Amino acid sequence: MKYKVTDNENVSTVFLTGEIDMDVADEVREIVFPLIDAGKEVHLNLKDVPYMDSSGISIIIESNQRAREKNTKVELKEVSQPVEKVLAMARKFLWHTKLQNKTI
């Protein structure tokens, strides 16, 4: 995995290239979390990410939670088609799980 960070005022865009899996998850956290902790709005550009596993989804969730705590936000930009499919499956799973746990 490779990355590049660009800054424009209070927005840092992290361009990720390569697979995002458990082998690189900690490295991605080490790139993204300090930006969030500094109060930056973080844009994750995923156009050059051909594969993402559940570790990548965890990074997105953790980043969003951390950003909320710091009163900032994380946005996904230019999501590649393979990653969009993984994210769509995750959304369906979360939606289904919500329905299963809903009390009537």
Given a cut of 60, whether residue 50 has pLDDT beyond it is yes
Q: Look at residue 103 in the predicted model and tell me its pLDDT.
A: 46
Note whether 49 and 18 are within 8 A (CB): yes
Question: Residue 94's pLDDT is what?
Answer: 61
Instruction: List, in sequence order, every beta strand (DSSP E) within 1-104.
Output: 2-8, 11-17, 41-48, 74-77
2.40.30.10, 2.50.20.10, 3.30.750.24, 3.20.20.100: CATH of 2-101: 3.30.750.24
75 contact partners, CB below 8 Å, separation of at least 6: 41, 42, 43, 44
Domain residue ranges in the chain: 2-101
What is the pTM assigned to this prediction? 0.86
Residue 104 has pLDDT above 50, yes or no: no
User: d(Cα 103, Cα 18) in Å, to the nearest integer?
Assistant: 42
Distance (Å, rounded) from C-alpha 55 to C-alpha 36? 19
Task: Please check the confidence at residue 80 and state whether its pLDDT lies above 90.
Answer: yes
